[in-house]
Structure 1
Amino acid sequence: MEIRTLRYLVAVADLGSVTAAATAVHVTQPSLSRQLRQLERELGVDLFVRDDGRLRLSAAGAEFLPVARSLVVQAEAARNIAAAIAAGRLQRVTIAAPGTTLTDVVAPFLATLEADDPMPAVLEETPASVYATLTLGADLAIGTTPPPDQLAGIALADLPVWAYVPRTHEWAGRGQVPLADLVDRPLLTQDRDYHPRRALDSAVAAARLAYTELHEFGSPEVAQAVAASGRGIAVVSDDPRFDLQPLTIDGPTGPLGISLYAAWQPGHHGAATIGRLAARLAAFCVARYGEQVTPPRRRARRHTATP
């Protein structure tokens, strides 16, 4: 049983005659009639009642028609998907990233996608494991460290790590705070699995400083919530919540920050599409946070896709 023959069956049923169906599917009338008889022999069912050379669906044919129509539609969808894959287009794209990046960067970016963009899905993953998701079904991974050499990728943005204080705090109007002043206060951070904390630790070590008091939280939102209660200063890379005031942190080599990178498999059939999507995400970061987050050109990775 071939999809082509099922398409002939559907055409006869819809158009009401072999002549009209043969014209629609671009075959001769005798050829169409022969192939419909062959289909009946294969199925062991009379699909048509033949009266004076005319065909009309039998009761069995009417019952079989929805199945035939469904198979024809599915076959057409399969051909369209295969053609899209061959052309490097994507119907869906799965983006993996740490939770903060999904919330503050990826989700707002997805709100800008258009109808002809791939349908997005997301995976939340820790920074240490995010690039491994590219072998587990993700199409695009967003991380805070440069991706491995075997992956294609680009540097997306250099984002600040903020010190968050309530608007009633004595530092609220300063705009920035020296690291030496910051470590003298109770700090509310994530654990060392997350790059903002590692960036803070590295800066403190480089400046030969030490924490006076530090509390770890599994959630950056909770760290900000506790800061809003006046129990300390949240040091995270998230966008502000709870009406907190962000301060840049003046470290030993400049403002404290983290870098975001996008990576994908260079052999992915949709690599060009994914590369263009990553470039749009980089442009979105600049539009959202300002030109100062643009990474130096020297950070751009090789293998980037040509738009």
Structure 2
Amino acid sequence: MENHPFTIRQLEYFEAVATHGSLSTAAAQCHVTASGLAIALDELERNLGVQLFIRRKAKGATLTPLGAGLLPEVRMLLGNAGTLAAHALEAGDSVGGRLAVGCYPALSPFYLPSILEDFARAHPALELEFVEAPAPELHELLLQGNIEVALMYSADISRELAHDPVREYLPHVIVAASSPLAERASLSLAELAELPLIALDLPPSKQNTERLFARAGLRPRMSHSSLNFELVRCLVGRDLGYSILYQRPRGDLSYDGHRVVSVPLADTVETSTVGLARTAGSRMTRRTEALLEHLRAAPGAPLHSSPANTG
């Protein structure tokens, strides 16, 4: 049997220091003394015959170019080791281990609370973590093995990822309750194109909105854009423009107390699918299966599709 010049524990220490840039912070996360962690890193570098970090007193630790090149492979190895441990747990049909979940920020208020409370309560052996990030960052986090799954729109899924659908959504228009448009049964893209658009500028939201208009041979009149879902609703609530969104909160009040109203699009438009993304070809773990089942069956969640021709 081949003897490897490293241990899983040493790789965990290496990844922790690379992530935090500090031996003391990494040591606290790994529940080891800073001196013990430093000794383990010294041994790892000696056995590999390379320098992984440049360490400076009071300035933390910086990856060398070689260390930076090895980091994705180390994360993949650690991810595989975690999967192996999880599979052992699953042999007894239990759900446990570490589950790192990524989430597109506009989706997180609708999904993460239930995951962190209801799903976690149902599976107490799970160690849940979550990361919010735009779609391109989630893509890289998945490929690097930093997260196991991510809640993303299907439009963001490359060939390097698999996507297990959870729910479909129709885009809908939101306008201020004080606007005459709030009384309309539906609104067409043609009439909206003449009005100021307040866009959610988190990829792919803004791009999806622009595509809706482009497919109809139209171009929206962009007024404001924001990375913040609630700021978009606040600006709409003050009747500074309209927006086109996919997610629909239960309440109709913006953060600053102005009412917004949802109005269906009169045009025939495509739905958008939210699902759990993972690396293509990877085996779905029991914990991922359990999460997928939870998301598809969550009762009373404000995640229903926006039906056409309803308010």
TM-score class, shorter: 0.5 to 0.7
| Residues 195 and 169 of structure 1: CA distance in aligned 2, closer, same or farther (over 3 Å) | same
Aligned-partner Cα distance in 2 for 1:121–1:86: 21
**Structure 2 partner of 1:206:** 215
1:223-242 aligned within 5 A: 223-240=232-249, 241-242=253-254
Q: Is the 8 A contact 2:159 2:280 kept in 1?
A: no
**Structure 2 partner of 1:125:** 133
Q: Give unpaired runs (5+ residues) of structure 2.
A: 1-82
What's the Cα RMSD here? 3.0
Which residue identity lines up with residue 116 of structure 2 in the other structure? L
Q: Is the 8 A contact 1:163 1:249 kept in 2?
A: yes
Q: Is the 8 A contact 2:99 2:287 kept in 1?
A: no
Cα deviation digits, residues 58-114 of structure 1 (max 9, x gap): xxxxxxxxxxxxxxxxxxxxxxx9975512343331110111111122323433222
1:31-50 aligned within 5 A: none
Q: Is the 8 A contact 1:95 1:121 kept in 2?
A: yes
Which residue identity lines up with residue 235 of structure 1 in the other structure? I
Deviation at 1:190, TM superposition (A): 2.2
Q: Equivalent residue of 2:178, what SS?
A: coil
| Residues 90 and 141 of structure 1: CA distance in aligned 2, closer, same or farther (over 3 Å) | same
Q: Is the 8 A contact 2:101 2:128 kept in 1?
A: yes
Which residue identity lines up with residue 145 of structure 1 in the other structure? S
Find 2:194's aligned residue among 184, 191, 210: 184
Q: Does 1:250 align with 2:303?
A: no
| Residues 213 and 86 of structure 1: CA distance in aligned 2, closer, same or farther (over 3 Å) | closer
| Residues 82 and 145 of structure 1: CA distance in aligned 2, closer, same or farther (over 3 Å) | closer
Cα deviation digits, residues 30-64 of structure 1 (max 9, x gap): xxxxxxxxxxxxxxxxxxxxxxxxxxxxxxxxxxx
TM-score by length of 1: 0.59
| Residues 106 and 249 of structure 1: CA distance in aligned 2, closer, same or farther (over 3 Å) | farther
Q: Is the 8 A contact 2:105 2:132 kept in 1?
A: yes
1:1-307 aligned within 5 A: 85-88=87-90, 89-113=95-119, 114-117=121-124, 118-134=126-142, 135-145=144-154, 147-191=157-201, 193-240=202-249, 241-242=253-254, 243-251=259-267, 254-255=268-269, 257-265=271-279, 271-284=285-298, 288-290=302-304
Cα deviation digits, residues 160-215 of structure 1 (max 9, x gap): 33321122221213343111111111110023x52222221111111111223432
Q: Equivalent residue of 1:87, what SS?
A: helix
Which residue identity lines up with residue 172 of structure 1 in the other structure? A
Q: Is the 8 A contact 1:175 1:246 kept in 2?
A: no
Q: Is the 8 A contact 2:247 2:303 kept in 1?
A: no
Aligned-partner Cα distance in 2 for 1:291–1:204: 21
Q: Is the 8 A contact 2:100 2:146 kept in 1?
A: yes
Q: Give unpaired runs (5+ residues) of structure 1.
A: 1-80, 294-307
Count of aligned positions: 210
| Residues 83 and 207 of structure 1: CA distance in aligned 2, closer, same or farther (over 3 Å) | closer
| Residues 248 and 275 of structure 1: CA distance in aligned 2, closer, same or farther (over 3 Å) | same
Which residue identity lines up with residue 283 of structure 1 in the other structure? A
Rg: which structure is higher?
1
Question: Once the two structures are aligned, what percentage of the paired residues are identical?
Answer: 16
Aligned-partner Cα distance in 1 for 2:178–2:187: 16
Deviation at 1:120, TM superposition (A): 2.2
TM-score by length of 2: 0.58
Q: Is the 8 A contact 2:212 2:269 kept in 1?
A: no
Deviation at 1:248, TM superposition (A): 2.2
| Residues 259 and 250 of structure 1: CA distance in aligned 2, closer, same or farther (over 3 Å) | farther
